[in-house]
Amino acid sequence: MSTALLDAVRLRLAGTGAEPTPARVAEALRQEGRLLGDAEVLGIVSRLRSELIGSGPLEPLLAEPDVTDVLVTAPDQVWVDRGAGLRRVDVSFPDAAAVRRLAQRLAAVAGRRLDDARPWVDARLPDGTRLHAVLPPVAVGSACLSLRVVRPRAFTLDELAAAGTVPPGGQELLRSVLDARLSFVISGGTGSGKTTLLSSLLGLVAPDERIVLAEDSAELRPDHPHVVRLETRPANQEGTGLVTLRDLVRQALRMRPDRLVVGEVRGPEVTDLLAALNTGHEGGCGTVHANAAADVPARLEALGSTAGLDRAALHSQLAAALAVVIHLVRDRGGRRRVAEVHVLDRDRAGFVTTVPAAVWGPEGFRRAAGWDRLAALCGRGGGAP
């Protein structure tokens, strides 16, 4: 099947606006003076559907069960992450214009605008895939695409332990944190597996509890019978209709949540979350970007300042609201793992610090200075580690 023939059929169908069904492709081929067998026609149909309504040459990659990210930095530079770090693959686009067309089509599918006036987009596709795209000249040379695949089901803790994300026997400690209704955050860098671990942990929540999720992009997929999912919304072209994460947190508090979950704490919503956790909403949780568990108080302090909360007030609320920090890392080999579990303490000045309680070990979690404190907290729910 030549590229010229494929382009000719594409142009004929584009002129009519028709979907590339087998019958229409066969008719277009006849008009081009070509008669092909059924298998060849179906091959052209598959290619055209992928280009016109699918993800183009990226579709086979997105369909692979172990792919988590697909990145395009140029027509001939496509990278994938299959859980062991980024690897370049032998997939390419005809030219930079083809990358731009795909980015704009995917943005349109997500109901977003992507053009010279608004050269970037951050959205969720109908199948849950997270889309980010940037057009030239902001992206130099070619449109850049970042696709984060969201799988339809959450992994179990046992599966994460088998994959090496949780150390051997570490499931019991994490279950104890859930059973004791301790408020916690999962920290880590980009792509360290925070959302994956949080989805797994939420699946352990008792089935008679109501989970309310507030997310920028709906990525959490907990295996739980009672989940309410709220998602932010950007402003429309007239500048109205904006729904922020802070709006969602406030609305979630009025929805009788047993567990309030903020997918990622990244702005002034931290003040509403901490206030909620201080007013009887036990067991709340979320994720936050941080390089280390010890950096989480400073990170939350910086986020609180965007809402006008001073340092002393933030630390006062934080000390009463949060109990545990679970920190994930991604090593040089690409493996994601729970590196540490910390509890919170206060220094002499009254500011919150974190204390390691359990540290990654090849045979299981190793006890650290904060272990007794963590055991006491978990013991409140009868689930001491």
Does residue 3 have a pLDDT over 70? no
Per-residue model confidence (pLDDT) at position 54: 62
**What DSSP character marks residue 70?**
E
pTM: 0.77
pLDDT of residue 10: 60
Whole-number pLDDT of residue 226: 95
Angle (nearest 5°) at CA 88 between 84 and 90: 130
| CA–CA dist 347, 369 (Å, integer) | 15
Give CATH 3.30.450.370 domain extents, the chain: 56-150
The reported pLDDT for the residue numbered 18 is 53
Q: Could you report the per-residue pLDDT of 284-342, keeping only the tens digit for each?
A: 999 999 999 999 999 999 888 888 888 888 898 888 889 999 999 987 777 889 999 99
Residue 150's region, left for phi above 0, alpha for psi from -120 to 50, else beta, is: beta
All CATH 3.40.50.300 domain ranges of the chain, comma separated, are 157-381
DSSP-derived letter for residue 365 is P
Structure tokens at 210: 């109501």
pLDDT at 52 over 80: no
Residue 24 in this model has a pLDDT that exceeds 80:
no
What is the average pLDDT across 8-31? 62
So what's the pLDDT on residue 106? Answer: 85
The label of the residue with tokens 């949540």 reads 257
- In this predicted structure, what is the pLDDT of residue 1? 47
Task: Please state the rounded mean pLDDT for residues 226-240.
Answer: 84
Please name the residue that has the structure tokens 């007030």. Answer: 313
- Residue 220: pLDDT above 90? no
For residue 268, the model assigns a pLDDT of: 87
Beta strands per DSSP E along the chain:
69-74, 77-81, 86-89, 120-124, 130-134, 144-148, 184-188, 211-215, 227-231, 259-262, 285-289, 324-330, 336-346, 352-359, 366-367
CATH class of 56-150: alpha beta
What's 157-381's CATH class?
Answer: alpha beta
% residues pLDDT > 90 (the chain): 36
